């Protein structure tokens, strides 16, 4: 699949796709713990698409695995440290983890250098933009004048925004529909677009909703929450691109 990656997977093994872990406090059997985790839908959708998902905690040295993967998924998560793009924190910017940010930036950078297929989701797309020298709107409602991208409701609610896609772009080919609609939950977004990126999707208010790395076979960022709905198209596209990989050491990760 996706022969344009020109990186055939060795016959007989499933492509290994890394998923950047997030940390969260949980209570288990009465004990308060902090765990590394991934959204189960990301794990399940990639497995259903023929891949072996691999959780990657954001600790020093994680970037050394980048070239040994067949694909990388960078999911949603906390806000990025604004100092990474030369800004002071907005009052609404929260839950930052500068150490994890720097590990994740190094991991994604190394993956792109190795031409590993990358799917960056929500925070992941924002990180992709910052990696390329771009900046972020730290609180999107200040720019758009509304909270439609992250509805203010008592429980978690996805915003539904009409999506305009660049004809002929990779994301337009993946979604392949006339009137796509996002399922989003974000209060930050691209401000200045990073060098080497192309904006390929926008909300009706002008918010950048999709970007692609211009000199990479498959590196796509989307602002919406794929993994929070039943839509598996982006995971299937990443799996297809990972299926064109030729990193034999990825199998060794699972043996060692």
Q: Are 122 and 228 in contact (CB under 8 A)?
A: no
Torsion of Cα atoms, 21 then 25 then 27 then 33, to 10°: 80
Domain assignment of residue 192, given as a range? 3-255
Number of folded domains that form the chain? 1
pTM for the whole thing?
A: 0.89
Task: For residue 143, give the CATH number of its domain.
Answer: 3.40.50.880
The tens digit of pLDDT for each residue in 33-86 reads 999 999 999 999 999 999 999 999 999 999 999 999 999 999 999 999 999 999
Please list the residues that pair with 128 across neighbouring strands. Answer: none
Count of CA atoms in the C-beta half-sphere (13 A) of 184: 28
3-state secondary structure of 130: helix
* Mean pLDDT, the chain, integer: 89
Cα pseudo-dihedral 62, 65, 70, 73, rounded to 10? 10
pLDDT at 5: 45
pLDDT tens digits, residue range 102-139? 999 999 999 999 999 999 999 999 999 999 999 999 99
Q: Let me know: does 39 contact 227? Beta carbons within 8 Å.
A: yes
Q: What is the pLDDT of residue 58?
A: 96
| pLDDT at 95 (0 to 100) | 87
Answer whether 223's CB lies under 8 Å from 182's CB. Answer: yes
3-state secondary structure of 111: helix
Asked if 10 and 251 touch (Cβ cutoff 8 Å), the reply is yes
Give the model's pLDDT for residue 244. Answer: 82
Percentage of the chain exceeding pLDDT 70: 91
For residue 9, what pLDDT band results from cuts at 50, 70 and 90? Answer: low
């Amino acid at each position: 699949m996706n022969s344009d990656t020109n990186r055939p997977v060795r016959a007989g093994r499933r492509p290994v796709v890394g998923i950047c872990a997030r940390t969260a406090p949980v209570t288990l059997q009465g004990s308060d713990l902090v765990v590394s985790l991934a959204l189960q839908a990301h794990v399940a959708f990639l497995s259903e698409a023929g891949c072996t998902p691999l959780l990657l905690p954001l600790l020093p040295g994680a970037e050394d695995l980048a070239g040994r993967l067949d694909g990388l998924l960078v999911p949603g998560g906390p806000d990025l440290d604004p100092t990474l793009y030369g800004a002071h924190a907005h009052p609404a910017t929260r839950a930052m983890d500068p150490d994890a940010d720097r590990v994740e930036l190094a991991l994604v950078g190394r993956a792109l250098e190795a031409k590993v297929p990358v799917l960056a989701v929500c925070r992941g797309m924002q990180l992709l933009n910052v990696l390329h020298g771009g900046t972020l709107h730290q609180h999107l409602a200040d720019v758009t004048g509304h909270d439609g991208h992250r509805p203010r409701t008592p429980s978690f609610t996805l915003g539904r925004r009409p999506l305009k896609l660049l004809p002929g772009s990779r994301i337009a080919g993946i979604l392949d529909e006339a009137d796509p609609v996002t399922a989003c939950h974000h209060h930050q977004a691209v401000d200045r677009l990073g060098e080497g990126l192309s904006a390929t999707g926008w909300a009706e208010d002008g918010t950048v909703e999709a970007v692609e790395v211009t000199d990479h076979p498959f590196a796509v960022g989307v602002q919406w929450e794929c993994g929070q709905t039943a839509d598996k198209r982006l995971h299937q596209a990443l799996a297809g691109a990972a299926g064109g990989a030729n990193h034999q050491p990825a199998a060794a990760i699972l043996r060692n």
